[in-house]
Structure 1
Amino acid sequence: MFVEGTILRGPNFDPVEGRVVVEDGTITAVEEESVSSSDVVLPAFVNAHTHIGDSIAKEAGAGLSLEELVAPPDGLKHRLLREATRAETVEAMRRSVRFMQRTGTASFLEFREGGVEGVFALREAVEGLDVDPVILGRETVEAMEAGDGFGASGANDADFGHERNATARAGKLFGIHAGEVDSSDINPALDLSPNFLVHVVHPEPIHLDRIEDSEIPVAVCPRSNLVTGVGLPPIRELLDRTTVALGTDNVMLNSPSMFREMEFAAKLTEASPREVLRMATRNGAQIAGLNCGVVEPGRDAKLLVLDGDSDNLVGSRNVIRAVVRRAGATDVKDVLL
């Protein structure tokens, strides 16, 4: 099979007219030639940080502080998660993942609450869907073993040395929240040699130096950070130092829309549209060890096709800028996962 249009090809998203040839779920060729389609073909998104369990509590907790909203064990989200039945939680997560699939997300890195049972519940929620989550269990080593790694709440909450060592022995991902409220937990988080950090809103120069020297990627969630009042991450400074990926964070606070996250990041920071698109695709895939996020031969054919002739996109003079700053769910023509 093949898809045609303006293809955002390769790691730099070079716009070329032509077709992407797909065989058995793999991109086998990107052929540059004149075609009649006005579609735009780009890599499907990889959402680098989510809390999908929060789908049972959308827009709850207006006016509460970050700690009151999400701090374990008694933040609002944790109380609501305990009160919900398993069936309610699974169905709510499934609805969110269906939205993600429809809007072009191929995978997401989930910090999954609820221990082993929480990991199993998310696997049940995605059954029959084409989105393939990377599930980082929380709270116990057993949850890590049941999932694809461990997602730590933050170095001020616990030591996490035992969990880090167990995750390393298992050869799985270890991610940790750091620098969300202040800088106090960034150095202890870096001491754990994580595979990636989440948030990093308040780094000091020493932290940026350590992140660069250790080549530790960062998943940023600017919409969530603004909603919770902790500020915006210094995306430009982080991009100059390391790999930066884009996440939507808690479904409680924000829709899991990578279109909205890209637009927000592009318009409120100094990141270029090309850098933001890379944050939403290739960089998240790189953190997760996935073979997608780039349209080139040998990659998994996880593709998003936008209608370049939609009322919203027609007439765009810069296709990458239009995809990042203007495109949305109504412009999606097809999703190949």
Structure 2
Amino acid sequence: MIIEGIVLRGREFEPVEGRVVVEDGEIAAVEEASVDGTAIVCPAFVNAHTHIGDSIAKEAGEGLSLSELVAPPDGLKHRLLRAADREELVAAMARSLSYMEQSGTGAFVEFREGGVDGVEAIRAALEGPDLESVVLGRETVEAMERADGFGASGANDADFVAERRATREAGKLFGIHAGEVDSSDINQALDLDPDFLVHMVHAEELHMDRVADSEIPVVVCPRSNCTTGVGQPPVEALTTRTTVALGTDNVFLNSPSMFREMALTAQLYDLSAREILRMATVNGAEIAGIDGGLVEAGQPARLCVLDGDSDNLCGVHDPVRAVVRRAGTADVERVVLAG
């Protein structure tokens, strides 16, 4: 497979005219050359924090607090998940996964409610799309053992010491929500030495210093935080201390569109387009422990190819800024996934 156009190459997303050569699901070469194509070729996005099970309840719960919406065990989300039958749940997740693929996402990290049954349900939903998935089970150690790791709700909900120990012994990924509503659970979460933290809306200097000292990466979800009204994480400060990635969080709060997540991040924070694109691609891949997120030889062929001649993108002078601030799902010409 050969894809021609403006290629956003490497970690700096250097725009080069040329072609990407794909062989056996891997990028074999990125070649500079004069080409006729107008496509913009960038890495497929890595959505570093999702709750895909919420697909059964999009836009439910208007006016409820965050605790009323998602707090285990009886938040609205958990009640709706318990009430849904498996066929309904799998079908709704499959639709969201299909949308994610259509909108340029190549991989995602899922916090999967429902114990073992929840893990098996999303595995069933993944039988269609070629997305790379990192599924973190919740609620039980057995769910972690059947998944790719454990995704903890928050240190105020439980101490998670046993789950952290079991996950470490299994050599799997451990992530935990922290600092979403207030700062009271951040130190407890850090004490668990997680592989990554999610949200950190209310992180203070002492917490960010601990993050830097421990080299613990953070996934932020600005649109979700806006929707629930909890505030915004100190993203600029976090990026000076650790690796930061973007996630779209609960599907019932927001669409799992990384284009929308990047655009809002660009409006809220004084960050370069390149930094934000890294947050949406390679940073998430590194946190998840998977390859990808870059267009360079030796990487998996997970690519988002945009129509540079679309009515929206025609005339763009800076393709990196265009991907981050302007592009949308309608501009996606094709998505190439290594699977």
| TM-score grouping bracket, smaller chain normalisation | over 0.9
| 3-state SS of 1:166 partner | helix
| 3-state SS of 2:263 partner | helix
Give the root-mean-square deviation of aligned CA atoms: 0.6
Distance between the aligned counterparts of 2:330 and 2:168, measured in 1? 42
The answer on whether the counterparts of 2:217 and 2:244 sit within 8 Å (CA) in structure 1 is yes
Counterpart residue number, 2:26: 26
| 3-state SS of 1:168 partner | helix
Distance between the aligned counterparts of 2:252 and 2:23, measured in 1? 39
| 3-state SS of 2:130 partner | coil
The answer on whether the counterparts of 1:149 and 1:167 sit within 8 Å (CA) in structure 2 is yes
Distance between the aligned counterparts of 1:214 and 1:12, measured in 2? 26
Distance between the aligned counterparts of 2:111 and 2:125, measured in 1? 15
Counterpart residue number, 2:81: 81
Tell me if 1:209 matches 2:209.
yes
Give the residue type in structure 1 aligned to 2:224.
S
Distance between the aligned counterparts of 1:164 and 1:290, measured in 2? 21
The answer on whether the counterparts of 2:59 and 2:253 sit within 8 Å (CA) in structure 1 is yes
Counterpart residue number, 1:102: 102
Counterpart residue number, 1:336: 336
Distance between the aligned counterparts of 2:276 and 2:217, measured in 1? 15
Give the residue type in structure 2 aligned to 1:123.
R
Distance between the aligned counterparts of 1:289 and 1:76, measured in 2? 32
Distance between the aligned counterparts of 1:11 and 1:132, measured in 2? 20
The answer on whether the counterparts of 1:235 and 1:270 sit within 8 Å (CA) in structure 2 is no
Distance between the aligned counterparts of 1:297 and 1:317, measured in 2? 26
CA shift at 1:318, angstroms?
Answer: 1.0
Distance between the aligned counterparts of 2:308 and 2:29, measured in 1? 22
The answer on whether the counterparts of 1:54 and 1:251 sit within 8 Å (CA) in structure 2 is yes
Give the residue type in structure 2 aligned to 1:183.
S
Structure 1: gaps spanning 5 or more residues: none
CA shift at 1:132, angstroms?
Answer: 2.1
Distance between the aligned counterparts of 2:193 and 2:248, measured in 1? 24
Counterpart residue number, 1:239: 239
Distance between the aligned counterparts of 2:129 and 2:222, measured in 1? 28
Off by >2 Å, runs of 4+ in structure 1: none
Give the residue type in structure 2 aligned to 1:21.
V
Query: Alpha-carbon deviations, 1:114-172, whole Å to 9, x = none?
Result: 00010000000110211121100000000000000000000011010100010001110
| 3-state SS of 2:50 partner | strand
Counterpart residue number, 2:223: 223
What is the correspondence of 1:290-305 to structure 2 with a 5 Å cutoff?
Answer: 290-305=290-305
Counterpart residue number, 1:161: 161
The answer on whether the counterparts of 1:27 and 1:296 sit within 8 Å (CA) in structure 2 is yes
Distance between the aligned counterparts of 1:12 and 1:167, measured in 2? 34
Counterpart residue number, 1:144: 144
The answer on whether the counterparts of 2:54 and 2:251 sit within 8 Å (CA) in structure 1 is yes
Identity %: 70
Counterpart residue number, 1:309: 309
The answer on whether the counterparts of 2:94 and 2:128 sit within 8 Å (CA) in structure 1 is no
The answer on whether the counterparts of 1:2 and 1:21 sit within 8 Å (CA) in structure 2 is yes
Distance between the aligned counterparts of 1:241 and 1:223, measured in 2? 22
Structure 2: gaps spanning 5 or more residues: none
TM-score for both structures, normalised by structure 1: 0.99
| 3-state SS of 1:133 partner | strand
| 3-state SS of 2:242 partner | coil
CA shift at 1:50, angstroms?
Answer: 0.4
What is the correspondence of 1:214-293 to structure 2 with a 5 Å cutoff?
Answer: 214-293=214-293
Distance between the aligned counterparts of 1:164 and 1:234, measured in 2? 27
Distance between the aligned counterparts of 1:93 and 1:103, measured in 2? 15
Distance between the aligned counterparts of 1:8 and 1:170, measured in 2? 37
CA shift at 1:272, angstroms?
Answer: 1.4
Distance between the aligned counterparts of 2:29 and 2:173, measured in 1? 31
Tell me if 1:178 matches 2:174.
no
The answer on whether the counterparts of 2:51 and 2:112 sit within 8 Å (CA) in structure 1 is yes
The answer on whether the counterparts of 1:8 and 1:41 sit within 8 Å (CA) in structure 2 is yes
Query: Alpha-carbon deviations, 1:39-76, whole Å to 9, x = none?
Result: 00000001000000000000000000000000001100
Counterpart residue number, 1:63: 63
Count of residue correspondences: 337
What is the correspondence of 1:195-206 to structure 2 with a 5 Å cutoff?
Answer: 195-206=195-206
Distance between the aligned counterparts of 2:82 and 2:138, measured in 1? 15
Give the residue type in structure 2 aligned to 1:98.
S
Give the residue type in structure 1 aligned to 2:25.
G
Distance between the aligned counterparts of 2:123 and 2:104, measured in 1? 19
